[in-house]
Amino acid sequence: MTRELQPKHRAVWSGLSSNALDADIGILGIPYDGAASFRAGAANAPQRIRSLTPHVAPFTERGISLAGFDVYDAGDTAISEKWESVTHGVASKVREIAHLPFLIALGGDHSITIPVVRELATIATGPMGYVHIDAHLDLMNAFEGLPHSHACTARRVLEYDNLSPEHAAFIGIRSWLDEELAFLKSHPLAHVETAAAVAADGIPSAFQRMLPTFRDVANVYVTIDIDVLDPAYAPGTGTPEAGGLSTRDLLTLLALVFDKLPVRALDIVEVSPPLDHSDITSFAAIKLLYEVFGWLNKRDAR
């Protein structure tokens, strides 16, 4: 008896994978969690997320088919405990897919955003916007002796050419350190929406308040630390903070971001499969990714 061929959707990225040089997006995994200050495990996220995608239908939540949307997966950067080796590997992978219309990076801890943005900033023309969706500000100059700690991500990113606090928005914040508050005081144009403000006023109001931050930018980078979600929605992360956004809140926010802002690249970080329960956090990340696919597909069709 001849065995039936595996259905196309039972492949990685639900069968949307393509080797085409003109794919709609490029994805790279960065399996590094050497800059985490508490619990590790985020290095396992890229492969775990990929392994679950054959069990996800290639549709958005509103029933829009993603058939014909091409996803080029550039694989993972080489595993290394040395930060210099990690940044070199990231630079190489980003250059490999930077010609594509959109880039997605899968962490890893939040430090992986630093080399991704650094590479994109070198090819950007004009000011870049930076949307930091997180429970934490990550504005420390150094943390526990590491200038590339995941607590320093935004501080490093905003030092690059083409980026500045006046074009940066922080959303979902509910954890603070004295040095970060001092930074914000000295950079009053950086926009902060706390998780409490979002809960009180709703996502649309919070988005409208941050929208002027990006008035004069041609490209926007969005970084999503999965701990922006309340631990009830994302238990598998290294530094959970109670009182966060719901998955629905985050989907609503991202829909507005992709509709109104010129988003060029995105990352999802701090998913830690060893700390997860029933892959709740990994599936939340996948839901976000597939909705991004749908928004990009819609945007390209305009």
Q: Give burial (CB, 10 Å; 0-12/13-18/19+) of 128.
A: buried
Per-domain residue ranges for the chain? 8-300
DSSP string over 158-180: TTSTT--GGGEEEEEE-B--HHH
Given this structure, which CATH class describes domain 8-300?
alpha beta
Half-sphere exposure of 255 (CA within 13 A, CB side): 13
The set of long-range contacts for 198-206, using a CB threshold of 8 Å and a minimum separation of 24, is 198/171, 198/172, 198/245, 198/249, 199/243, 203/249, 203/252, 203/253, 203/256, 204/252, 204/256, 206/171, 206/253
Give the pLDDT confidence of 219-247 residue by residue, as tens digits: 999 999 999 999 999 999 999 999 999 99
One pLDDT digit (tens) per residue for the chain, 302 residues:
445 566 677 789 999 999 878 899 999 999 999 878 788 899 999 999 999 999 999 999 999 999 999 999 999 998 878 888 888 999 999 999 999 999 999 999 999 999 999 999 998 888 999 999 999 999 999 988 888 999 999 999 999 989 999 999 999 999 999 999 999 999 999 999 999 999 999 999 999 999 999 998 999 999 999 999 999 999 999 999 999 999 999 999 999 999 999 999 999 999 999 999 999 999 999 999 999 999 998 765 54
- Residue 239 DSSP class: S
Give the pLDDT confidence of 45-78 residue by residue, as tens digits: 999 999 999 999 999 999 999 999 999 999 999 8
pTM for the predicted model, two decimal places: 0.94
